Amino acid sequence: MRNAIGWLCALGLAACAVDPTPGTPAAPQPVRASLVGTRWVGVADPSADHRGLPRLEFVREGRLSGYTGCNMMSGAWQMEGEQVRLGALVTTKRLCMGPEGETERRFLAAMGEGARGKREGDRLVFTGPGGARFEFREAAAT
């Protein structure tokens, strides 16, 4: 009985979504303004070890967490129109040399306080106050 009621409710909602006038174009879907619940992974050379790529997760409204390529990080964010504006980031203090350290340096230059991010196609691109850029692609759902 419970499944039948659920099925009927879903069918009723689907019927409401159908355009009653054939040939009329459907209304455009709104762009999701919030990034809450999305996860992103840094764009890098395809030969790079994926375990060392920076990551971002927009945990809830105003809070994000992630990985710099060397250290764990967290911070504040807010939407301003269609752009993301970052607040101060806090990181762990593990010392990384070589490629990990270089990746982190590039990440932090683009993601410092006041950095802005915006979607460019399938990418989320952040630009730091000094002009440094870092690109992310949305991580596959797990």
User: How confident is the model over 75-106, as pLDDT tens digits?
Assistant: 999 999 999 999 999 999 999 888 888 899 99
∠77-90-103 over CA atoms, to 5°? 95
Two tokens, residue 22: 């054939």
Is residue 57 scored above 70 in pLDDT? yes
Helix (H, G, I), strand (E, B) or coil at 66: strand
Whether pTM exceeds 0.85:
no
**Contact between 30 and 37 (Cβ < 8 Å):** no
Q: What pLDDT, in 10s, does the model give residues 100-116?
A: 888 999 999 999 888 99
User: Is 2.40.128.270 the CATH classification of the domain at 34-138?
Assistant: yes
- Enumerate the domain spans of the chain: 34-138
